Amino acid sequence: MIIVDSRGDVAMVHVAVDRLDAAASPAFKQAVASQVDADTAKLVLDMRAVEFVDSTGLGAIVSLMKRLPPDGVLVIAAPRHPVRRLLQITGLDRLFRQFDTTEEALAAIGG
Amino acid sequence: MSAAEIPLRVLVVEDDDIAADYLCLLLGQNGCTATVAGNGEEALEFLRELRFDLMLTDWMMPKMDGVELIRRARELLQHYLHVVLLTAPGEERTMRTALEAGADDFLYKPISATQLQLGLATARRVLGLQQRLERKNRALAESTRRVRAAYRQLKSDLRAAGTMQRSLITVDGVTGFLAHGSYLQPSIDIGGDSFGVLPLEDGTFFFAVDVSGHGVPAALNSFAIHQRVVQLARSGTDLRGIAEAVNRELMDQPGESYATALFGVVATDTEISLIRAGHPPPVIVKSCGKAEFAEDGGLPLGMFEAAAFDVLQLRFEQGDLLLCYSDGVMESGMGEDELLAFCASARTSGVEVAAALGQKLSELRGGTDPPDDISVLALSRV
C-alpha cells in the first residue's frame, strides 16, 4: 500500500497503488497511521504510481495533511495528469504544492 | 456414545446358510443387528426398503455376484453405506474391480472373530466421520440458504431504495427560464449523487451533489444533504450561505464525509449565478455552439472549516445550455475533451442533452454498471 522512506526530517511516502479510491483509502489511512511517525511535520507524497484518485482518496490525503502539526507541510510529488487535474478541479492544488519529481519536492521542503 | 459403541444395522448377503448364521452370531456379539439376504436381488430389495449402515456381501453367489451387487447398490442409494466384500486371499484382480465398483473394505474367508472385529472398527470409524460430515453439510446448506435469502432481501431492498431515490430526485421539465433534464446511474442500486431544481420567489434554484463513497452510506448522506439544501434554498438562504452551511454541517459529522457540489440560481433572463464546490466544472454551451468549462470554483464541502465559496456570474441567454455532471462521467470513459465536443454538437434542450449523454455513457460502458455514481443535470435557457 505505501512505502515510507525517511529523508532527514522528511517522511517520503511512496503510494504503491494505482487507484486511491473508496476501496483503497481505508487501508491507505491505516498504513499511514501505522508507518508514519505521529510527530512528522514534513511529508512528501510520491504519487507517481497512482493513476486515479476519487473523492474518498482526496479525503484520505486531506486527513493525512490534518495529522501534521500546525507548522507541518505536505507536498505531492510526480502526480499523473488525472490526479493533477482532480487537484485543480477541487481547488486542492492551492493547498498542496506539486512537484514533477520527488527530488524537487524534497529540495523545496528542505529534506 | 463413542464410535466403538455405535450399533450398526448390517445387511449380510450370503447364499450359504451356515456361513450366514455364523456371521450373524459374530455380529450380534459385537453390538450389531443383522438382516440376511440369500442373494443379490433380495439384498437390493432390502436396501430399497430399509436403512443399513453396513453391507457384508459374499463375492461368489449365483445370478448376481458380490461385485455386481455393490455396483447396483451404489447406484440405488443416496446415502452412505459402508460395503465390505467377503473374498478369498489372492483375489487381487477381484478386489481391484470391487474397489472400482464401490467396495470400502475386504475380509478374507474364512472369517475369524478378530478379523470381523477389526472390520467393524474400521466401519464404525468411517461411519462416524460420515455422520459428522453429513451434519456439517446440513449446517452448511442451511447457512447458505440463509445467506442467499438475506442477500435476496438486501438486493430487493436496495432496488426499492434505488427506485425511491430516482423518483425523489429525477427532475425533467421546465421551471422558470429553465428546461431541465437529468440522468442518474448509481454504481450499485443506490448512490451518493443527487440533484434538484426548484422554483423560488426570485428565480430558479438548482444544485448537484456528489457525496464521497458509494452505496448505502453515501446515499443516506446524499439524501440528507439534498433535503437540507432544499430547506435552505426555500428559506431564502443565498448560494454562499447554503455552501457554508452544508460545509459546516459535514465538518461536524462524526467520521469523515465529503461532498462536491454545484449550487446555482437563474434569477434573470440573461445571467446565472453559480458556486462550484469541488464539483467537476460545468460545461456552458452558447447558442452559437461554443462550449467551455466554467472552471472557477472552490474546495469540496466537509474538508476545511474556513473554506470560502465565491459566486461566479455567467451570461446565460436564450438557447444557452449548462451541463452539470459528477466525476463518474469521466470514469465511464468520457474525457473532458470528448464531453466538450459532445456538448458543442448537442444544441438541443436540457432534457434531450441529458438523455443523449446518458445513452452515450451507457454505450461507452458496454451496458455494465459504472465504477462510480454518475449524475447529469442539463439546464437550457428557454
| CB-based contact, B278 to chain A, within 8 Å | yes
Give percent of chain B with pLDDT exceeding 70: 98
Query: What residue type is B273 in one-letter code?
Result: S
Strand duo B374-381 + B321-325: pairing: antiparallel
Q: Does B264 touch chain A (CB under 8 A)?
A: no
What does the pLDDT average to over B217-231?
92
Domain count, chain A: 1
Tens digit of pLDDT for each residue in B243-257? 999 999 999 988 788
Given a contact cutoff of 8 angstroms between Cβ atoms, the answer to whether B378 and B353 are in contact is yes
Q: Is B213 left (phi over 0), alpha (psi -120 to 50) or beta?
A: left
Contact B241/A at CB under 8 A: no
Q: Say if residue A85 is exposed, middle or buried (CB neighbours under 10 Å; 0-12, 13-18, 19+).
A: middle
Rounded distance, CA B328 to CA B361, Å? 10
Predicted confidence at residue B209, as pLDDT, reads 95
pLDDT reading at A2 higher than 90? no
Residues 6 or more apart in contact with residue B11 via CB below 8 angstroms: B34, B35, B37, B43, B46, B47, B50, B52, B54, B55, B56, B57
* 3-state secondary structure labels for all residues of B11-23: EEECCCHHHHHHH
* Mutation site for B-interface testing, chosen from A30, A90, A94 by largest number of B Cβ within 10 Å: A90
With contacts defined as CB-CB under 8 Å, which chain A residues touch B278? 55, 89-91
Secondary structure percentages of chain A, helix, strand, coil, to 5: 40, 25, 35
**Mean pLDDT over the full length of chain A:** 91
A56: nearest CA in chain B? B212
| Tens of pLDDT, residues B47-104 | 999 999 999 999 999 889 999 999 999 999 999 999 999 998 878 888 899 999 999 9
| Whether the Cβ atoms of residue A1 and residue A17 lie closer than 8 Å to each other | yes
Q: Do A55 and B327 touch (CB under 8 A)?
A: yes
CB-based contact (8 Å) between A65 and chain B? no
Please give the pLDDT value at position B33: 96
Mind listing the pLDDT tens digit for each residue in B145-175? Answer: 999 999 999 999 988 988 888 887 767 889 8
What is the predicted pLDDT for the residue at A111?
Answer: 53
Contact yes or no for B182/B195 (Cβ under 8 A): yes
Residue range A65-88: mean pLDDT, rounded = 93
Average confidence score pLDDT of chain B: 91
Q: Return the CATH number at A103.
A: 3.30.750.24
Q: What pTM was computed for the model?
A: 0.75
The average pLDDT across A22-33 equals 90
Residue B236, C-alpha cell as written in the block: 431564502
Highest mean pLDDT pick, B135-144, B214-223, B346-355: B135-144
Candidates A28, A66, A89, A93: best to mutate against B (most CBs of B within 10 A) is: A89
Query: Are the Cβ atoms of B212 and A89 closer than 8 angstroms?
Result: no
Please enumerate in sequence order all residues whose Cβ is within 8 A of that of B306, keeping only pairs 6 or more positions apart, or say none: none
Nearest to A90 among B214, B260, B336 (CB): B260
- Evaluate if residue B373 carries a pLDDT over 90: no
Among A73-82, A99-108, B212-221, which is the least confidently predicted range? B212-221
> Which residues neighbour A69 within 8 Å (Cβ) at sequence distance 6 or greater?
A39, A41
The DSSP letter of residue B158 is H
Which of B180, B157, B177 lies closest to B375 in space, CA to CA?
B180
B263-272 confidence digits (pLDDT tens): 999 988 789 9
What pLDDT is recorded for position B4? 53
pLDDT of residue B90: 79
Residue B105 grid cell? 473394505
Domain interval for residue A98: 2-109
Give per-residue burial for B64-81: e unless 16+ CB within 10 Å, then b: bbbbebbbbbeeebeeeb
* pLDDT tens for each residue of B4-34: 566 899 999 999 999 999 999 999 999 999 9
